[in-house]
Amino acid sequence: MSNLPQFDLIIIGAGIMGSSTAYHATKRGLKTLLLEQFDLLHYRGSSHGESRTIRATYPEAFYPPMIIESEKLWREAELDVGYNVYFKTEQLDFGPSDNTSLLVSVPEGWIAVVSDGGVLKATKAVAMFQTLAVKYGVVMKDKTEIADVVVDEEKGGVVVRSGLGEMFYGKKCVVTAGAWVSKLVKNVSKGVVNLPIQAIEMTIFYWRIKDGCEEDFAIGKGFPTFASFGEPYIYGTPALEFPDLIKAVVQRGRECDPDNRTWRPAEMVVEDLKEWLKLTFGDRVKWEDGPVMSQSCLYSMTPDKDYVIDFLGGGFGEDVVVAGGFSGHGFKMAPVVGRILVDLVVGGKVAALELDEEIKWFKIGRFEGNPRGNVKH
C-alpha cells in the first residue's frame, strides 16, 4: 500500500464538521486529505444555506462550556481569514415555565430568557474553514464517495477506498459524514457498529416583513434570534440574510433516507408557522401570504439528541474517530468539535482536559442495551 497517496489524517465528509476538523488539523501541521462525495459547498446535507443560530441556553450542563470555547474559536478563525461569519445579537427564549431549557422566571405561567446569541452565516462559514485549511495545506477532493475504510495490516493506519476504486492511505481517519454516517459506519465496521442516527428532512422558511416595519426586525437594531419552546418548537433569526425577510422555522420534519428524500416540508408546518407569526408579530409580518422562500436541509437525530463523538473501535482501535448525530444543534459547536476530533485522533484524548469531561456524554456505548441513550430530566 506504500504506492498510495499518503496522509497523516483523512477526513470523510466536508460539511461544517469535516471542514473545521481540516482547519484544525492542517494548522497543527498534519498532512490532511478532506474527501467529499458531492461538490464542495453542496446543498444536499446539513451545513448549507444562509444562517444558523448560536445560543447558550441548554438544560444539559455539558454544552455551555463547549459553546464558550467555540465562540472563542469562531472569532480566532474569523481573524485568521479576515472576514466575519458570526454576527452577534441577543437570543430571546420563551415558553411554558416548566421547560428546563429556560432558567429565569417572568410572569406566572411563562418564562423568557435573554442571553447572548448570534447568527452564523452557514455556507460562508464552511467556505471559511475550507479556505483556511487550504492556506495551511489541506488536499481537498470532491465528487469522491467513500465506500470503505480498512485497516492497513502491513504498517498500521487505514486505507480509505472510494466507490470508484480510488485508494488513499491515512495514519488516522475522521468520519464526519452527517446524515450518511450510520450507513458508512455500518459498512466500515462490517455491521458491528449500528449508530442510532436518523436522517430527518427539514424545511426552513423566510417571511416578508410589512412595509414600514423593516427596522423593527433588523439585527443592527437589536432584534434577537429567538426560540419559542412551546409545542411546536419554533425558532428564527432577525433580518440579516435577505433584505426585509426574517427566518422562522418549525422544528419538525420527516424521517428519510438521505439519498431518497422528498425535498418538501412536513405536513402542517406552514400553517403552524402562520398561526404563530400572527400571534407573535401581528400585522408586522406578512404571514397571510405564506413564506416567500424555503430551503430543505437534513437533521441527523440521535434518540437523546446528544452528539456522537467517539473512536470507532474494533480492529481500528483509536485510528478512526466518528462524529455525527448533531441533532439539529451542531453548527455553533463546529470549531470546538473540529479541535476535539483532532485531539482525539492524534493524542487519544481531548487536550483541554475540562472538555474531556464533556465528551463522555457523546460515547457510542451509551446506546448499548439502552436505546434511549443519555437520561434526560
Q: Which is nearer to ligand FAD, 193 or 204 (CB)?
A: 204
Strand-pair partners of 12: 35, 175
To ligand FAD, the closest distance from the beta carbon of 109 in angstroms equals 27
Q: 154-170: string of b/e by CB count within 10 Å (b at 16+)?
A: eeebbbbbbeeeeebbb
Q: Which is nearer to ligand FAD, 25 or 369 (CB)?
A: 25
Q: Which is nearer to ligand FAD, 180 or 207 (CB)?
A: 180
**Looking at beta carbons, which residue is closest to ligand FAD?**
15
Would you tell me which residues interact with ligand FAD (CB under 6 A)?
A: 12-18, 35-38, 45-47, 52-53, 145-146, 176-180, 184, 202, 204, 297-299, 324, 326, 328-332
Joined together, the cell numbers standing for residue 327 give 441533532
Q: Which is nearer to ligand FAD, 181 or 350 (CB)?
A: 181
CA dihedral over 39, 45, 48, 49, signed as positive or negative? positive
To ligand FAD, the closest distance from the beta carbon of 140 in angstroms equals 12
Q: Which is nearer to ligand FAD, 45 or 335 (CB)?
A: 45
Residue 341 and residue 23 in contact, taking contact as beta carbons nearer than 8 Å:
no
To ligand FAD, the closest distance from the beta carbon of 105 in angstroms equals 25
Joined together, the cell numbers standing for residue 203 give 424545511
To ligand FAD, the closest distance from the beta carbon of 107 in angstroms equals 27
Q: Which is nearer to ligand FAD, 27 or 52 (CB)?
A: 52
User: Could you say which DSSP state residue 234 is in?
Assistant: E
To ligand FAD, the closest distance from the beta carbon of 340 in angstroms equals 13
To ligand FAD, the closest distance from the beta carbon of 79 in angstroms equals 21
**CB-based contacts of 298: which residues, under 8 Å, 6+ apart?**
44, 45, 46, 178, 179, 199, 200, 201, 202, 256, 258, 261
Cα angle 62, 182, 180; round to 5:
100
